[in-house]
Structure 1
Amino acid sequence: MKKYTFYITLVFALTVISCKKEEAPKPKVIYQDNAKTKTQVPEDTTQIEIADLPINMDGTNYLIFPVGTVSGDKKGIKASYDSNTGYTVSNYGEYQITGYLKNLKFQEIGKDTIYALSDNAILIETATYLKSTADKTKKQLMVYTLADMDTNKDNKLDNSDIKSLYISDVSGKNFTKISVDFQELIDWKVVDSRNRLYFRTVEDTNKNGAFDKEDRLHYFYIDLLAKEWKAEEYRPI
């Protein structure tokens, strides 16, 4: 009887593992209704919004408050929060803030007003101060990678949605999207000698909801000294 029970358990376990292996990866874009219509993301009432202590990028006149969420219940923040992170929602190093942040708040040093980077639903993964550019041009800028649309239509913003590229002044003002909607950001870099920010994206040209080798790569740059940031496409190949 024990051997029979063990055999049934083993078969069940192998079946579950096999099913998991056969599961297709979740698409980053769901093409239903109108995929290019922004979906309203419902508020998650199980999450409590908190802010980390302020960060001052060296050489700037602004404080930045990273804002994120932790799990909560009716009594407040759960006692079972991750002991490794506690109430911390971001990390900071090398002029870059990282995390999964709902927003950033800014405050000019010497003033009381604190204001948000954006009033829209976003999920910020990185916020980078372009210190090398500021040293040469005296123009202080921030670059952000983030999700700004529920592209896979699962009613939440997370790292399963398309990643976009934004830029702003170091004050958080003039927050501007420079990548194209529904194109996944691959990477970006600044070339100081040209005062340009270069970046690559991939477009789901075969409309299968994923980004793969069958899709088209796009190459862009923006002039960091321009009054209005506008991505220019170029073709290196």
Structure 2
Amino acid sequence: MKKHFNKTVFILCIGLLFMSCDTEQKTTVAINDTVESAEDFTIKKDSTAIKVLKLPVHIDSTQYLYHAIAIKRVAIDDDFSISKSRYGSYGAASTSYNNYTFSGEYAGFIVEDIQTGNKINVINEEITITSATIYNKLENNPRVEFVLYKGHNLDTNKDKKLNHNDLSALFISDLDGSNFTKLTEDFEEFNGQRFIVENDKLYFQTQKDVNGNGIFDSSDNYRNYVVDLTAPVKKAVRYDEQLMNITKQ
């Protein structure tokens, strides 16, 4: 009986050890307040990503074709040999396009104007896009058109690849693929957005790991931003502090 009890305790300890290791691996932030530049967290090439050009998609009511560049993931063993490959986001079977949204893992997009023949390479940096949603006049707002991208451009956990273990960021471009811009601040985790048609503005929220412990918890703060989509240059302006001050009056 005692021998069986000791064996059970040993198994539980081993299980807790693995759980602890797994939690540590999922840490998404390897930064603190001493970090001065995002350049330390950019990578020239994600060695686990192979870029594959998908067949084009025509965006309804526009003159644009979107040529998506999907990411084919390869798993690397400890000896850096390729062991297997897979398409899609976080091991999913495939990338997809549905209801004006690309989902999966993408390295970028090439937008082709079928009337003029002009082509624009939307993204000119190493980045992983997990979704791209097209807001055109037919489906959304007759006054503004734009594309929102969610993804990762900083290797915030320092594992030399860009995936869901890194901080999420929000980007925007014009419908023709020009003026690709990052809206979220570096080292802030993107939490969600809302497009208000009535005032042509985009609102989104982030969270920052202010204590530098690599975990988002109650000690970290949330930040709210607004973007005027009618402006020629899309810029995120923080507004939560101003509104919260009203509650203190």
TM-score (norm 1): 0.81
Offset at residue 123 of structure 1 (A): 0.5
In structure 2, list runs of 5 or more residues that go unmatched.
Answer: 76-81, 245-249
2:247 corresponds in structure 1 to none
Q: Provide the C-alpha distance between the structure 1 equivalents of 2:154 and 2:140, rounded to a whole number of angstroms.
A: 34
Q: Distance in 1 between matches of 2:164 and 2:170?
A: 14
The residue number in structure 2 matching 1:204 is: 209
The equivalent of 1:162 in structure 2 is 167
Match of 2:200 in 1: 195
Query: 1:175: Cα distance to partner?
Result: 0.4
Q: Deviations over 1:93-113 (max 9, x none)?
A: 121111111111211114555
| Cα distance, 1:91–1:35 mapped onto 2, change above 3 Å | farther
SS of aligned partner of 1:18: helix
**2:27 equivalent to 1:27:** yes
2:72 is matched with which residue: 70, 83, 97?
A: 70
Change (3 A) 1:219 1:44: closer
Residue number among 205, 221, 224 corresponding to 2:226 in the alignment: 221
Q: Any idea what SS the aligned residue of 1:21 has?
A: helix
Task: Give the partner amino acid of 1:226.
Answer: A
Contact 1:220 1:234 (C-alpha < 8 Å) held by counterparts? yes
- Asked whether 1:171 is paired with 2:173, we answer no
Q: Secondary structure at the match of 2:57?
A: coil
When residues 44 and 62 of structure 1 are mapped into structure 2, their CA distance, relative to the original with a 3 A threshold, is same
**For this pair of structures, how many residues does the alignment match?**
229
Paired residue secondary structure (2:14): helix
**Larger CA deviation: 91-100 vs 111-120:** 111-120
Question: Once the 2 structures are TM-superposed, how far is the Cα of residue 89 of structure 1 from its aligned partner?
Answer: 4.6
Identical-residue share of aligned pairs (%): 27
Residues 28-47 of structure 1 mapped to structure 2, 5 A cutoff:
28-31=28-31, 34=35, 36-38=37-39, 39-41=41-43, 43-44=45-46, 47=49
- Post-superposition CA distance 1:179-215 (Å, at most 9, x none): 1111100000100001000000001111112222211
Q: Quick one: structure 1 residues 209 and 137, their matched pair in 2 at CA, closer, same or farther if it must change by over 3 Å? A: same
Aligned to 1:127: 132
Cα distance in 2 for residues equivalent to 1:233 and 1:14: 47
> How much has 1:29 moved relative to structure 2?
1.7
TM-score by length of 2: 0.78
Q: Cα distance 1:224–1:208, how it changes in 2: closer, same or farther (>3 A)?
A: same
Aligned to 2:147: 142
Partner of 1:183: 188
Q: 1:133 to 1:103 in 2, by over 3 A?
A: same
Q: Secondary structure of the equivalent of 2:210? A: coil
Q: Is the 8 A contact 1:35 1:151 kept in 2?
A: no
In 2: Cα distance, 1:209 partner to 1:223 partner: 32
- In the other structure, the counterpart of 1:98 is 103
* Paired AA for residue 27 in structure 1: T
Cα root mean square deviation, aligned: 3.3
Tell me which moved more, 128-137 or 215-224.
128-137
Moved more, 48-57 or 37-46: 37-46
Classify 1:128/1:47 alpha carbon distance in 2 versus 1 (closer, same or farther; 3 Å).
closer
Tell me the equivalent position of 2:79. none
Q: Go from structure 1 to structure 2 and tell me whether the alpha carbon gap of 1:208 and 1:82 turns closer, same or farther (over 3 Å shift).
A: closer
More moved, 212-221 vs 102-111: 102-111
